[in-house]
Chain A
Amino acid sequence: DGGITQSPKYLFRKEGQNVTLSCEQNLNHDAMYWYRQDPGQGLRLIYYSQIVNDFQKGDIAEGYSVSREKKESFPLTVTSAQKNPTAFYLCASSRGGPPYEQYFGPGTRLTVT
Chain B
Amino acid sequence: EDQVTQSPEALRLQEGESSSLNCSYTVSGLRGLFWYRQDPGKGPEFLFTLYSAGEEKEKERLKATLTKKESFLHITAPKPEDSATYLCAVQNDYKLSFGAGTTVTVRA
Contacts and interface: CB of A to CB of B under 8 A. Distances in A.
Given A48-B94, A101-B46, A107-B41, A41 B100 contact: yes
B49 A101 contact: yes
A43 B43 contact: no
Contact of A105 (B34, B41, B43, B97): B43
A50 B87 CA distance: 23
Instruction: Specify the main secondary structure of chain B where it touches its partner.
Output: strand
A97 B31 CA distance: 10
A101 B42 CA distance: 18
A7 to B, nearest CB: 13
A98 B99 CA distance: 18
Nearest to B93: A98
Interface string B80-108: 00000001010111111111110000000
B94 A31 contact: yes
Contact of A42 (B31, B51, B92, B100): B100
Contact of B87 (A42, A44, A103, A106): A42
Interface of B: 4, 31-32, 34, 36, 41-46, 49, 51, 87, 89, 91-101
B31 A103 contact: no
A12 to B, nearest CB: 16
Given A45-B96, A104-B36, 19 more contacts: A40-B100, A41-B100, A42-B4, A42-B87, A42-B99, A42-B101, A43-B44, A43-B96, A48-B94, A56-B94, A98-B91, A101-B32, A102-B96, A103-B46, A104-B44, A104-B45, A105-B43, A106-B43, A107-B41
